[in-house]
Amino acid sequence: MKRRESTIEPMPISLSPPAPVMSPVHQGEATHCPYCALQCGMYVSGGIGEAAGGTLTITPRHDIPANAGGLCQKGWTAGELLTGGVRLTTPLARASRTSPLVPVSWEEALDRIAGAIRETQARHGADAVAVFGGGGLTNEKAYQLGKFARVALRTSQIDYNGRFCMSSAAAAANRAFGMDRGLPFPITDLAEADAVMMVGGNVAETMPPFLRHLNNALIVVDPRDTRTARQATLHLRVTPGTDLALALGLLHIAITEGYADQDYIAARTTGFPAVRESVAAWWPERVERITGVPVARMREAVHLLGGAGKAMILTGRGAEQHSKGVDTVTAFINLALALGLPGRAGSGYGCVTGQGNGQGGREHGQKADQLPGYRRIDDPAARAHVAGVWGVDPDELPGPGRSAYELLDALGTDGGAKALLVFGSNPVVSAPRASHVAGRLAALDLLVVSDFVLSETAAMADVVLPTTQWAEEHGTMTNLEGRVLLRRQAVAPPSGVRSDLAIISALAARLGHDEGFSADPGTVFDELRRASAGGVADYSGITYERIAAETGVFWPAPSQDHPGTPRPFLDRFPTPDGRARFLPVEHRPVAEEVDEDYPYYLTTGRVLAHYQSGAQTRRVAALNEAAPEPFVELHTDLAEHLGVASGDLVRVSSRRGFAEAVAKVGRGLRHDTVFMPFHWEGANRLTNPALDPVSRMPEFKVCAVNVERAGSQPSDRGEDA
Amino acid sequence: MKLVVIGNGMAGGRLADEVRARDKDIDMTVFGAETRRPYNRVLLSNVLAGTASPEQVRLPAQTEGVTTRLGVTVTAIDPESRTILTDDGGREPYDVLVLATGSEPVVPPIPGATRAIAFRTMDDCHRILQAAATATGAVVVGGGLLGVEAARGLAGRGMPVTLLHLAGHLMERQLDPEAGLVLGEALTGLGVTVRTGARVTAIHAHGVELATGEILASELVVLACGVRPLVSLARDAGLEVNRGVVVDDRMRTSDPAIYAIGECAQHDGTVYGLVAPAWEQAAVVADLITGADRAARYRGSRLVTRLKARSVELASMGEAHLTEDPAEAVEVVRFTHRARGIYRKLVIRNDRLVGAILLGDAPTVGTLTQLYDRGGQLPGDPAGLLFPGLEHATPADSPVRMPDSARVCECNNVTKGRIRACWEAGARDTAAVAAATRATTGCGSCRDAVEGIIGWLCEQEEEVRA
Whether residues B98 and B235 share a domain: the answer is yes
- Domain CATH for B175: 3.50.50.60
Q: Is B415 within 8 Å of chain A by CB?
A: no
B199 and B238 housed in the same domain: no
Amino acid, single-letter form, for residue A631: F
Q: Classify B78 as helix, strand or coil.
A: strand
DSSP A151: I
Q: Do A211 and B52 touch (CB under 8 A)?
A: no
* DSSP character at residue B9: S
Question: How far B41 CA sits from the closest chain A CA (Å)?
Answer: 10
Q: How confident is the model at residue A570 (pLDDT cuts 50, 70, 90)?
A: very high
pLDDT digits (tens, 9 = 90+) for A437-467: 999 999 999 999 999 999 999 999 999 999 9
Chain B: residue nearest A279 by CA?
B59
SS3 A650: strand
**In terms of CA atoms, which chain B residue is nearest residue A641?**
B379
Chain A within 8 Å of B389 (Cβ-Cβ)? no
Pair (B212, B120) in one structural domain: yes
Q: How far is CA B270 from CA A428, A600, B264, B322, in A?
A: 53, 32, 11, 19
Predicted local confidence at residue A52, as pLDDT:
47
Give the per-residue SS3 of A353-376.
CCCCCCCHHHCCCCCCCEECCCEE
Phi-psi region of A37 (alpha: psi -120 to 50; beta: other; left: phi over 0): alpha
Of A21, A210, A276, the CB nearest to B435: A21
- pLDDT tens, position by position, A83-112: 867 889 999 999 998 899 999 999 999 999
Is A546 or A53 the better-scoring residue by pLDDT?
A: A546
Q: Which of A208, A225, A276 sits opposite B442 (nearest CB)?
A: A208
Are B46 and A256 a contacting pair at CB < 8 A?
Answer: yes
- pLDDT tens track of chain B, all 466 residues? 999 999 999 999 999 999 998 998 899 999 998 887 778 888 898 999 988 888 888 887 766 778 989 899 999 999 999 999 999 999 999 999 999 999 999 999 999 999 999 998 899 999 999 999 999 999 999 999 999 999 999 999 999 999 999 999 999 999 999 999 999 999 999 999 999 999 999 999 889 999 999 999 999 999 999 999 999 999 999 999 999 999 999 999 999 999 999 999 999 999 998 899 999 999 999 999 999 999 999 999 999 999 988 889 999 999 999 999 999 999 999 999 999 999 999 999 999 999 999 999 888 999 999 999 988 888 878 888 888 766 555 545 576 778 888 888 988 889 999 999 999 999 999 999 998 899 999 988 888 889 989 998 998 888 877 6
Give the DSSP letter string of B312-377: B-EEEEESTT---BGGGTEEEEEEEEGGGTEEEEEEEETTEEEEEEEES--TTHHHHHHHHHHTPB
Residue A296 to residue B368: CA distance in whole angstroms = 15
Residue pair B283/B251 in contact by the 8 Å Cβ criterion: no
- The CATH number that domain A167-351 falls under is 3.40.228.10
Verify whether the Cβ–Cβ distance B443 to A210 is below 8 Å.
Answer: yes
Q: Which of B43, B304, B365 sits opposite A283 (nearest CB)?
A: B43
Where do the structural domains in chain A lie, given as residue ranges?
A: 1-86, 92-164+357-471+496-519, 167-351, 600-709
pLDDT at B400: 72
Smallest Cβ–Cβ distance between B379 and the set A76, A292, A640 belongs to A640
Residue B301 lies in a domain: no
Name the strands in the sheet holding B215-217, side by side, starting at the edge strand that comes first in the sequence: B200-204, B207-210, B215-217
Q: Do A209 and B442 touch (CB under 8 A)?
A: yes
A467 interface with B at CB cutoff 8 Å: no
CATH topology of domain A600-709: Barwin-like endoglucanases (2.40.40)
What residues of B are in contact with residue A220 (Cβ under 8 Å)?
A: none
* B282 neighbors B11 (Cβ within 8 angstroms): yes
- Cα dihedral A142, A145, A150, A155 in deg (nearest 10): -120
C-alpha B368/C-alpha B355 separation (Å) is 9
Does any domain span residue B303?
no
Mind giving me the DSSP string for A671-721?
A: TTEEEEESSSTTHHHH-EEEE-TTT--EETT-EEEEEEETTSSPP-SS---
Q: Domain count of chain B? A: 4
Average pLDDT score, chain A: 92
**Does one domain contain both B8 and B77?**
yes
Residue B400 lies in a domain: no
**Strand boundaries in B57-214, DSSP class E:** 66-70, 74-78, 83-86, 91-93, 96-99, 103-105, 117-118, 138-141, 161-165, 192-196, 200-204, 207-210
Interface of B with A in 184-223 (CB under 8 A): none
CA distance A704 to A600: 6
Contacts B362 to A, Cβ<8 Å:
294
- B410-419: b (≥16 Cβ within 10 Å) or e: bbbbbbbebb
Say yes or no: B60 and B7 in one domain. Answer: yes
User: Is residue B194 situated within a structural domain?
Assistant: yes
> Does B296 map to a domain?
no
Q: Are B52 and A256 within 8 A, CB to CB? A: yes
The answer as to whether B29 is a domain residue is: yes
| Residue in A15, A211, A608 closest to B436 by CB | A15
Closest CA to A401 of A127, A22, A697, A126: A127
pLDDT, tens only, B185-204 = 999 999 999 999 999 999 99
Euclidean distance between CA atoms B319 and A473, whole angstroms: 68
B392, B423, B440: which is the final residue of a domain? B392
Give the gap in angstroms from C-alpha A132 to the nearest C-alpha of chain B. Answer: 32
B193 lies in the same domain as B239: no
Same domain, B236 and B219: no
Report yes or no on B120 lying in a domain.
Answer: yes
**Amino acid sitting at position B59:** L
Instruction: Give the single-character DSSP code of B35.
Output: -
Domain ranges, residue B326: 313-392
**What is the 8-class DSSP label of residue A324?**
T
| Minimum CA–CA partner of B372 in chain A | A289
Tell me which of B364, B392, B420 is where a domain ends: B392
Q: Are residues B161 and B63 in the same domain?
A: no
Flag whether pLDDT at A18 surpasses 70: no
Q: Could you tell me which of B242, B258, B255, B212 has the C-alpha nearest to residue B94?
A: B258
> Do residue B41 and residue B139 come from a single domain?
no
Searching chain A, which residue's CA lies closest to the CA of residue B382? A637
In a domain, B419, yes or no: yes
C-beta neighbour count of A204 within 10 angstroms: 25
Distance CA A334, CA A250 (A): 10
Secondary structure, 3-state, A242-308? CHHHHHHHHHHHHHHCCCCCHHHHHHHEECHHHHHHHHCCCCHHHHHHHHCCCHHHHHHHHHHHHHC
B407 vs A54, more confident? B407
Q: Dihedral, CA atoms, A10, A15, A16, A21, nearest 10 degrees?
A: 170
CATH 3.40.50.740 corresponds to the domain A92-164+357-471+496-519:
yes
C-alpha to C-alpha distance for A558 and B133, rounded to whole angstroms: 61
Residue A149 distance to chain B (closest CA, Å): 39
The verdict on A57 touching B (C-beta cutoff 8 Å) is: no
d(CA A635, CA A224): 10
Please identify, among B290, B305, B322, the residue that sits at the C-terminal boundary of a domain. B290
A588 close to B (CB below 8 A) = no
**Of B104, B124, B187, B152, nearest in space to B308 by CA:** B152
- Is A18 in contact with B57 (Cβ distance < 8 A)? no
Q: Is the pTM of this model over 0.80?
A: yes
Of how many residues is chain A composed? 721
Interface check B350 vs A, CB under 8 A = no
For B56, the closest of A208, A256, A641 (CB atoms) is: A256
